[in-house]
Structure formats: C-alpha cells, structure tokens
Amino acid sequence: MRVVILGAGGHGLSLAYHLVKKGINDISMVEAKRINYGSSGRNAGRYRYHFYTKENVEFAKEGIPYLLKLCKDLPLNPLCMKTGYLWILDDEKSKDVISRAHSLWSSEGVGGKFLPCNDFDFLKIEEECYLAPQDGSFHHDYLSLGMYEAIKDHVKVIIGEAMRLKVSGGKIVGVEVNGSIIPADVVAVTLGAWTGHFMKRNGIEVPVEPEKKEIFVTEDLKFRVKPLTISKRIYFSHTLKGEIIGGVEDEVPRGFGELDISVERSLSFTRTLRSLVKGAEGIRILRGWSGYYEMTPDHSHIMGFSDSWPDGLYVDAGYSGHGMMFSPYSGKIMADLIADGVKNKFTKIFSPQRFEENKLIDERMVI
C-alpha cells in the first residue's frame, strides 16, 4: 500500500508512526515548509479531559491516557506532567459554563472542584476558582519530533506544497507536488488549518478555517504557576524551564495572514499576567509568535472519510485549538482505519459526513 500523508505536523507524524508500526513501508510525507512548521510547532503544550460535550470528554478519556503512554515510549521525552487546569471564575459566564460542565465531568469520572483562588499561592485574587486536577502539560516539539525520530528512517519526507489530488475511476491515484505526481493508493490529509483550503482547491468541502492566535513566553521566574490558569482575559502556565507561556482570549476574524504578533495583545497579556501572579509584577515577555487554530463549525475535529469522496482519501484535522494532545491517539485510530479497515466509534462521531447530516457536536470550550 502506497500511503502519502499531506502535512508533517503532529497528526501526520502520528499517522506515519502508527503505520510504520504496522509494517507499512511505502510512506511519503509531503510538507510545504518543514517538519512541525504548523500549529504543532506553535502550541502551548497542554492536555485536558475537560470539554463541554460528552463526545469530546469521551474522546479525551481514551486519547489522553494514550498520549501519556506514548510519552514513556518515544525516543525524545515529551515531558508529560499532571498539572491541572484552573479556571478563575471571574464572571457570570464562566461560572455558568463551568457549573454546567461540572455535572457532566463528574458523571464521566473526571470531576474537579470549586475552591477559593487564594488556595493557590501564586494568585493575587480573591475569586472563586475551579480546579480540574486530571489535566496537564507536555512539550509539543518533543512529542512530534519524538514520533518523527522513531520513524525517520522508514518514511520519505518530500518538501513541497501538495496541490492537486489525482483521481481515476473514483479512486485516488496520486497527488501533485512540485509539478509532478506522487503515485498513491491512499492520501491522508493532515493539513491542520490548511485542510479546508486544500480540499476546496480539489472541489471538496471540508469546513476547517484558520483562526490566528498569538502566544507569548516570558522571562524566567521560579516555578510556581503549575496549573494552566484560565481567566476571562488570558490563559497562562509555567514551563519547566521557568518561562510563563500563555495567550490572550479573544475572538479573531478567520483567515490566513501574517504570522506576527501585535503590540496590543503583547501588552494586554503582560499587564494581565502581572496583575494576577505574585512576583511577576514587572515580568517581561521574551518573545511571541502566532499560529492557527483549525476551526470547524462545531469546534470539534474531523476524522475518517466521507462516502461522497474518492476511495482512498482520508482526513484528520480541524481540532479547533486542542489537537496537539490528541495527535498520538488520532494517528492510531487513522492507522487502524487505513491499514486494517477498523472503524473506531469515533470515526463515526467525528465523521466529515456529520456536517451534511446535521449531526453537529456542541463543543464550546475552545481555550
């Protein structure tokens, strides 16, 4: 079986990793820039069980333990660590959302607890907080490069932009890259935020849109912000090397653009952080960068294939800002589907067909 994977981010690499494990030996990866150029090299490296919908919580209940297992196996150490997520309930909206979610989470066995924020030494505020202790952090580069390192001698990496799918008799036969056709029996599209754009170019509607998000890293400060802390303005947490990493929570118009950062958000991030964290009153940012959230209409990912597509075409994308943590597990599900025809229940729940069939998932927790 000749498999061509488009996009070498966490999801493409994980799919390749799992296919190699199954003994598939004709795998090519097509990457426009460099391995991990996309969101997989630009994210905050946090994992959680805590989503708004049952579907995503249940996906996480399988996906996160799988991530934690892989953390122990890869040639690089992705530094998986349980840190918790901490919501500062500083407005009615967050109180409302968390209270409702709390009953779902409890019934799913991942309930957290309400507590005063000043139970946490690092916080300077007198609000109510909600701690979800099961969640945690990892190092995004070590995760994706760890998967790459494990298989790099078994896959071919082609640097170039995937342009057109080649279809014959209702089947995928190849994909055009750098002006020539790479023959393929299977093409897996793991293009993250670029998925919608690529598919549209090939006449197929897959609703994934880019939303630019900025993220910042501060100077070193002695480790204290263990949980990923979420206020209505910003989210932030410590890295193990001493920086505080985080971003601003705001709505940004969809679309591709410059991957730069704005003065306004940089200042807004530092000012809010300084007002919340003890000892950080004058902390500065070291650098900022941006990446795309890969937004779908229901803020949930798309995996599998649609009956209306050519045979051999698969998609795994659209994680709407929470896809790094799921890359190990999704790659496994996709590899089972592609190599063995095994349909995991989640390929049905998160199927691309749900948009035509109007079976949307009402996910609201995009962090």
Ligand X SMILES: Cc1cc2nc3c(=O)[nH]c(=O)nc-3n(C[C@H](O)[C@H](O)[C@H](O)COP(=O)(O)OP(=O)(O)OC[C@H]3O[C@@H](n4cnc5c(N)ncnc54)[C@H](O)[C@@H]3O)c2cc1C
Residues that bind another protein (CB under 8 A): 34-36, 41, 71-72, 75-77, 79-82, 141-142, 145, 149, 152, 219-223, 226, 238, 240-242, 258, 260-264, 266-267, 270-271, 274, 278-289
Task: Please provide the DSSP assignment of 88-112 as one string.
Answer: E--SHHHHHHHHHHHHHHHHTT---
Determine the Cα–Cα distance for residues 208 and 297; give it in Å rounded to an integer. Answer: 8
- Check binding of 33 to ligand X (CB under 6 A): yes
Burial of 119 (0-12, 13-18, 19+ CB in 10 A): exposed
Instruction: From 38-46, 128-136, 302-310, 352-360, give the range in contact with ligand X by CB under 6 A.
Output: 38-46
Determine the Cα–Cα distance for residues 309 and 287; give it in Å rounded to an integer. Answer: 43
Give which of ligand X, another protein, none residue 76 binds (C-beta under 5 to 8 Å, depending on kind).
another protein
Compute CA distances 230 → 18, 43, 65, 110, 273, whole Å.
Answer: 34, 16, 23, 18, 11
Give which of another protein, ligand X, none residue 325 binds (C-beta under 5 to 8 Å, depending on kind).
ligand X
**Of 17, 194, 236, 346, the one binding ligand X by CB under 6 A:** 194
Asked if residues 248 and 203 have their Cβ atoms less than 8 Å apart, the reply is no
CB of 233 to another protein, least distance (A): 16
CB of 164 to another protein, least distance (A): 29
Dihedral sign, CA of 83, 89, 91, 96? positive
**Of 130, 269, 292, 309, the one binding ligand X by CB under 6 A:** 292
CB of 142 to another protein, least distance (A): 8
- Check binding of 9 to ligand X (CB under 6 A): yes
**Which helix (H) or strand (E) element contains residue 132?**
strand 128-132
Q: How far from chain centre, in Å, is Cα 95?
A: 25
| One-letter amino acid of 314 | Y
Closest CA to 71 of 47, 50, 49: 47
- Check binding of 84 to ligand X (CB under 6 A): no
Dihedral sign, CA of 256, 259, 265, 270? positive
Q: Which two tokens stand for residue 263?
A: 């003065």
Instruction: From 52-60, 83-91, 184-192, 255-263, give the range in contact with ligand X by CB under 6 A.
Output: 184-192
**Of 3, 4, 5, 10, the one binding ligand X by CB under 6 A:** 10
- Check binding of 337 to ligand X (CB under 6 A): no
- Check binding of 161 to ligand X (CB under 6 A): yes
Asked if residues 85 and 46 have their Cβ atoms less than 8 Å apart, the reply is yes
CB of 81 to another protein, least distance (A): 4
- Check binding of 189 to ligand X (CB under 6 A): no
Give which of ligand X, another protein, none residue 125 binds (C-beta under 5 to 8 Å, depending on kind).
none
Determine the Cα–Cα distance for residues 217 and 194; give it in Å rounded to an integer. Answer: 25
**Which helix (H) or strand (E) element contains residue 215?**
strand 209-218
Count of residues that bind ligand X according to CB under 6 A: 42
Q: Residues interacting with ligand X, by CB under 6 A? A: 6-12, 30-33, 37-40, 42-46, 161-162, 190-194, 198, 213, 215, 247, 291-294, 317, 319, 321-325
